[in-house]
């Protein structure tokens, strides 16, 4: 099974586990492709036993020293070699386990391609893409509902290609769910807005220090290489516009994003 995510192909090879039992196909609709011509950027071998990919502190240390990324959760574990883009994972044959695996593995993949997943709603407004970022309850879904073209109301991937940042559609959605508003084509990023519910409607430009602090706090997972994530965030802050968006629930958000 091949998943297209942020323009990259991820090939999943299932062994000893029923693909139908493990893969939430409805959840992934639009992202699974049968295109055999495009070679995979990453390959994930999925085995059907919920055991640790690497067990024991010594083995974990050896793996980390060798540049491998290791992660163990209750219903999945994986070991990923960034050098050749191959991961081996062990999974409970449950759809939630597969979603958990993607939540942890995809940031690792994106990191190697100059991208990350931001805890944010991604929307297309006018001709540009906007990230409306904030923690749970900050109003991401409330604002995303006001747009016709939405990438996600919870976790939106952003990646730098040919010197420009683009936001991409995501299968990680919050309350809004993926429906008619789902927009499948990437957009160049126009600005990042950190949300704050308020009695006024106001967009305040953020200084790099404040933007960096808010950005790092909303990036999904630090994974194995926090230093690399900090570098990405540093560069991202220097090359993009950031605002603190104070808004009322009944605001006309499109006019605020002009």
Partner 1 sequence: MKNNKYSISASAAFRLIDGEYFIVTPGDSMLHCLNETATFLFGLLEKAGLMTAVELASGICGEYETDEKEALGDVEGFLSALVEKGILEEK
Q: What is the per-residue binding string for partner 1 in 49-78, x denoting contact by CB under 8 A?
A: ------------------------------
Least Å from the CB of residue 32 to partner 1: 30
Q: Residue 150 forms beta bridges with which residues?
A: 123, 182
**How far apart are alpha carbons 192 and 209 in whole angstroms?**
14
**How far apart are alpha carbons 75 and 95 in whole angstroms?**
10
Task: Label the pairing between strands 8-15 and 69-72.
Answer: unpaired
Nearer to partner 1 among residue 31 and residue 222 (C-beta): 222
Least Å from the CB of residue 205 to partner 1: 14
Q: Any contact of residue 194 with partner 1 (CB under 8 A)?
A: no
Q: Do 195 and 140 meet the contact criterion of CB atoms below 8 Å apart?
A: yes
Which of the residues 206 through 245 are near partner 1 (CB under 8 A)? Answer: 207-209, 212-213, 216-217, 221-222, 224-227, 229-231, 233-234, 237
Least Å from the CB of residue 107 to partner 1: 11
Nearer to partner 1 among residue 25 and residue 217 (C-beta): 217
Nearer to partner 1 among residue 35 and residue 227 (C-beta): 227
Nearer to partner 1 among residue 155 and residue 229 (C-beta): 229
Least Å from the CB of residue 238 to partner 1: 10
Q: Do 163 and 172 meet the contact criterion of CB atoms below 8 Å apart?
A: no
Range 144-147 contact pairs with CB under 8 angstroms and sequence separation of 24 or more: 144/176, 144/181, 145/176, 145/181, 146/253, 146/254, 147/123, 147/181, 147/253, 147/254
Alpha helices in 12-116, H assignment, sequence order:
19-22, 57-65, 95-112
Least Å from the CB of residue 233 to partner 1: 8
- Select the span of 71-79, 109-117, 164-172, 205-213 touching partner 1 (CB under 8 A): 205-213
Q: How many residues bind partner 1 (CB under 8 A)?
A: 19
Least Å from the CB of residue 217 to partner 1: 6
Least Å from the CB of residue 225 to partner 1: 8
Burial of 139 (0-12, 13-18, 19+ CB in 10 A): buried
Burial of 218 (0-12, 13-18, 19+ CB in 10 A): buried
Contact residues for partner 1, defined by CB under 8 A: 207-209, 212-213, 216-217, 221-222, 224-227, 229-231, 233-234, 237
């Amino acid at each position: 099974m091949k998943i297209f995510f942020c323009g990259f192909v991820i090939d999943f090879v299932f062994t000893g586990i029923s693909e139908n039992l493990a893969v939430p196909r409805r959840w992934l609709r639009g992202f699974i492709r049968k295109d055999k011509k495009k070679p995979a950027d990453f390959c994930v071998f999925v085995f059907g036993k919920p055991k640790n990919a690497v067990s024991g502190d010594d083995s974990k240390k050896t793996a980390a020293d060798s540049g491998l990324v290791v992660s163990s959760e209750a219903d999945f574990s994986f070991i990923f070699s960034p050098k050749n883009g191959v991961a081996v994972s062990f999974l409970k044959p449950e759809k939630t386990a597969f979603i958990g695996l993607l939540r942890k593995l995809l940031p690792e993949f994106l990191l190697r391609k100059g991208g990350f997943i931001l805890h944010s709603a991604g929307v297309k407004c006018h001709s540009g893409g906007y990230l409306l970022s904030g923690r749970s309850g900050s109003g991401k879904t409330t604002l995303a509902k006001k747009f016709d073209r939405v990438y996600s109301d919870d976790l939106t991937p952003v990646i730098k290609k040919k010197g420009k940042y683009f936001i991409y559609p995501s299968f990680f959605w919050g309350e809004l769910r993926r429906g008619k508003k789902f927009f499948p084509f990437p957009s160049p990023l126009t600005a990042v807005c950190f949300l704050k519910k308020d009695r006024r409607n106001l967009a305040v430009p953020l200084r790099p220090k404040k933007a960096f602090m808010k950005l790092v706090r909303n990036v999904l997972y630090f994974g194995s290489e926090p230093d690399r994530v900090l570098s990405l965030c540093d560069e991202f802050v220097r090359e993009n516009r950031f605002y603190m968006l104070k808004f009322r629930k009944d605001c006309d958000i499109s006019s605020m994003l002009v």
